[in-house]
Structure 1
Amino acid sequence: MSPQSRDNGPVNRSNQSDIGRSNGQSTGADFLQLDPAEAPAGGLADWLTDHLRTAISTGHLPVGTRLPATRTLATDLGISRGVVTEAYQRLTEDGQVAGKGRAGTVVVAAPISTAPPTNNNPPGTRTHLNEPGMEIFDQLRDARARIDLTPGVPDLAAFPRSGWLRAERAVLGDLASAQFGYGDPAGTPALRRAVTAWLAQYRGIAADPDYLIIVAGVAQAIGLVAQVLAERGIHEIAVEDPGSLGSRQHLHSWGMQVPPIPVDDRGLRVDALRESQSRVVMVTPAHHFPTGVVLEGERRRELIQWAADGGLIVEDDYDAEHRYDRPPVPALRAMLGDQVIYVGSVSKLLAPALRIGWMLAPAQYKEELINKKRLADLGNAALPQLTLAHLMESGELERQLRFLRRRHRTRRDAMVTAIQNHLPTATIHGAAAGLHLTITFDDPIDDVELAAAALRSGVKCHPLSWHCQLPHAPGLVLGYAARTPTEITAAITTIAAELP
């Protein structure tokens, strides 16, 4: 049988992939300077796949690149077309390339844990990302997956489109022409009043709207705080550990050091915070990310005393509204105003794309923070602010929250059941509230490689070690809010199959 006739049949993933090499006559290809003479005997498909995967991860084949046609590349290399087809198929299964019809095979994502070749790291070697770079979340977002369990993502399909359109029409019907001009960089008065009323009703915070600043999400709030503190000579903000990698990266980008303070099953260890001698700490006391623990009452009192002794708390009220099996807990800002910068947003309640958040500033920081906001962008867009204010004042946002709680509880229950059935040795954390679960393993599992293996099998999640600076049990952070119970069960089954 000729090499051509073999190419027309099904791909055989065996050493037969070398069939079709043209009697050593190949001179290689200009594409990536590929030379099949370098391939080990019986390993052409592995060799080609590894070179393509490495080129994708190093940016030599960026997202959007069209790969050569299988017949063209096979001819250039003097190998069987089946070898090229096999390599492309493997990359397709990994979610790194995709067939685009007449557009050919196109690079759609870089693998999240494939390292470039070095003397000690041959092409295709998988490495740990214990210190992932700033681009990691962009790479993960762009990676293709059948089921996305990325934490921190709400059910985007549940966005109240009709309610938002009604509110927007109502706002536009009453909006004076002058209100289309530049406004207060601290935010529209209507939204500041509405958010202040919402925080009083749902978070127990009594505040003056004049001290509330509308920001482009919690990320911008963190950046503004870091800039103000740096100008005051403070270049260190202590953070929870485990704690959000994204928040840590934002602080780093503004020149802040982020000493880790351990979190246990009672929350932040305030004794360790005192020992660190840090003057500022950022916490998620209502629902700690990623473990889900609530800051226990005695620890709250200790933290408040620490602040009263001269410390400053940056309170990220993460996931505070999403609770299922426990009573609400008050915000720290409700108990101690002057030493707490409180931040929150609608990213987890409506959608991150809105980029609307808020910050309650103590009097001594208010004007500096507003000035930084003015210099950043002159203030958030007014129309979405006014639309959100209408949703809050009309009761639409409260109805949306109640709807989401019922929906999320069902999905949370599905994930808990799936973990108990398919990952019985895993310990579940944070099930009483939030949009995600964290699981940990007693065995010394490489959670970065486990997450990478899950992605190769079509399931996207975070390894717990991304969010740790200190030694911690390995685990995964699994979002459930945006997935159906059937998808959740399939994803956990897939992850279980990848365990070593």
Structure 2
Amino acid sequence: MSIEWANSVDLHLDLDAAGGRRQALEHALREAIRSGRLAPQTRLPSTRALAAGLHLARNTVAAAYEQLTAEGYLSARVGSGTEVAGAPARPAPAAAPAAPAAPRYDLRPGSPEVGTFPVDAWLRATRRALAAAPVSAYDYGDPRGRPELRAALAAYLGRARGVLADPEHMIICSGYVQALGLLARTLGGPIAMEDPGLPFHREVVRHHGADVLALPVDDLGARTDLLGRDGLAAARAAVLTPAHQYPLGVTLHPARRRAAVAWARAHDAIVIEDDYDGEFRYDRQPVGALQAMSPEQVVYIGTAAKTLGPALRLAWMVLPERLVGPLAAAKRLSDLHTESIGQLALADLIGTHDYDRHVRSCRLNYRRRRDLLIDRLGRHHRLHGIAAGMHALVGLPPDGPSEAEVVAGAAARGLAVGALGPHRHHPAEGAAPGLIIGYATPSRASYPAAVDILARTLHTL
């Protein structure tokens, strides 16, 4: 028979082995120890407790313990009970190939300074949110997300990003990647994506069954004037980063904004606005979201990954009314709903304006970091794009050194940096080389040293 202990430890024991009850118990314990289900130093129940749980005589359990102690499987100490004996030493396994050493300094783009996560404010928000949460908050929920967070975000996005957000037209997702995947799966058809752009996002779209079309980017942003023409004629959606293009760092020109909306209206298409770091503009007020120009043609996506930290896995979509039902259904089939406790805490953080205070603090921190980068690189290596965000594009001279040479030179000095080339949809002969520097990634203590190494690398190659 199969028994689960009710005392001290929970362990499934199969007493169906042939022989008497004592032999069956010895066999079950021996196999549990051999298989690793009972680890060394695991304390076993007393003979009285185990006998009661298995409906055996206490003497039967005591005899089994004595036999396994004699065999070396168990050890018994007066006053300490019986426990699994230490495992015999095993030969050391063959050494695995050494993993590449982590760089001492990391200026690759993609992450905020995670050490600035507002731990105290988050704890306070979580306590308040849990104290006020209805019992239903701990049950399965609406695939669109908690109403508290959707309401808080609608108010915040309206005043901070100019988004026309109705809480009923919002879906909370487990990160931007899930939002992009749900859209790719639901919209169908080819999706135009900025070139250059993040390669991983192209992989996400393809993984969910949509083809990717390259949408060129120049100094005025994405070439939305090309949508609906030639190789882009089949596109059913276009992913844009209007406030701060990644990786070139430019903002989408007003004429290009109008062209994107006009194309979506004329072709019954969708613009997907990725506003990943729209709050971080340093030389002027941030440009408002494109979504406000045409809420029924634009899907707005924001995320907590860049303002708070990627670990939260919280993002949000503001949708045209016609897409709410299909995307809510797709979200339900994907993971039912995003976890609720983090949603409640973020709603409280926004409602108390602790979120605004944190964003302002990060904005000042990243502005200082960008200024230091400009100062240390000097006039020979200027930054491209607007004063915004958490990354900068550093141009390299066309006659060398190459991106690969600079990346290797920095690595030899213990510094990791990003290259522009891999962000292009296809290798482009004669394309301007550059480095993508994530100046938010290092800790505050290590950032100046990382920038100094970058400057020395660029000045000596």
Question: What range is the shorter-chain TM-score in?
Answer: 0.7 to 0.9
Give the gaps of 5 or more residues in structure 2.
Answer: 1-91
User: What are the Cα deviations for residues 213-247 of structure 1, in whole angstroms up to 9, with x where unaligned?
Assistant: 000111100100011123xxx1x111111111121
Q: 1:286 maps to what in 2?
A: 243
Match of 1:273 among 183, 205, 227: 227
Is 1:464 the counterpart of 2:420 in the alignment? yes
- Alignment of 1:481 with 2:440, yes or no, is yes
Structure 1: give runs of 5+ residues left out of the alignment: 1-101, 111-142
Matched, 1:195 2:153: yes
Q: Is 1:394 the equivalent of 2:352?
A: yes
Cα offset, 1:179, TM superposition = 2.1
Amino acid in structure 1 at the alignment position of 2:441: A
SS in structure 1 at match of 2:394: strand
Q: Secondary structure at the match of 2:227?
A: helix
- AA matched with 2:311: A
Distance, in Å, in 2 between the alignment partners of 1:282 and 1:392 is 27
User: Residue 176 and residue 460 in structure 1: after superposition, are their counterparts in 2 closer, same or farther (change >3 A)?
Assistant: same
Asked whether 1:440 is paired with 2:395, we answer yes
Within the alignment, does 1:237 sit opposite 2:191 as a pair?
yes
Q: What's the counterpart of residue 109 of structure 1?
A: 99
CA contact (8 A) 1:411 1:485 kept: no
Q: In 2, distance between residues paired with 1:395 and 1:485?
A: 24
Tell me, yes or no, if the aligned pair for 1:284 and 1:316 is still in contact at 8 Å.
Answer: yes
SS of residue paired to 2:432: coil
How do 1:420-439 and structure 2 match up within 5 A?
420=378, 424-439=379-394
Residue of structure 1 equivalent to 2:289: 331
- In the TM superposition, residue 176 of structure 1 has moved relative to its aligned partner by 3.1
Alignment length (residue pairs): 360
- 1:295 aligned residue (242, 252, 255): 252
2-structure distance, mates of 1:168, 1:488 = 31
The question of whether the paired residues in 1 share the 8 Å contact of 2:113 and 2:443 is answered with: no
Query: Does 1:364 find its partner at 2:360?
Result: no
Give the Cα–Cα distance (whole angstroms) in 2 for the partners of residues 496 and 174 of structure 1.
52
1:139 aligned partner = none
* In 1, Cα distance between equivalents of 2:205 and 2:401: 29
In structure 2, the CA distance between the partners of 1:486 and 1:182, relative to structure 1 (3 Å rule), is closer
Task: Give the TM-score of the pair, scaled to structure 2.
Answer: 0.74
User: Which residue identity is paired with 2:436?
Assistant: V
Query: What is the CA-CA distance between 1:409 and the residue it aligns to?
Result: 1.2
1:419-473 C-alpha deviation (Å, 9 max, x unpaired): 22xxx54331135100111112122443144324423431122111111125331
Question: Which is greater in Rg?
Answer: 2
CA 1:485–1:374: 2 relative to 1, 3 Å? closer
Q: CA deviation at 1:107?
A: 5.4
* Distance apart, 1:174 and its partner CA: 2.1
Q: CA RMSD in A?
A: 2.2
The one-letter code sitting in structure 2 at the alignment partner of 1:402 is R
User: What TM-score results when the alignment is normalised by the length of structure 1?
Assistant: 0.68
Change beyond 3 A, Cα 1:394–1:104: farther
**Distance verdict in 2 for CA 1:169–1:219, change over 3 Å:** same
How far does the alpha carbon of each residue in 1:241-289 deviate from its partner, in whole angstroms, 9 at most, with x for none? 1111121121122232222111111111123333221232110001100
Residue 399 to residue 497, structure 1, CA distance change in 2 (3 Å): closer
Whole-angstrom distance in 1 between the partners of 2:456 and 2:134? 60
> Do the aligned partners of residues 256 and 493 (structure 1) sit closer, same or farther apart at CA in structure 2, a change above 3 Å counting?
same
1:490 aligns with 2:449: yes
Matched to 2:180, the amino acid is I
Cα distance in 2 for partners of 1:487, 1:430 equals 25
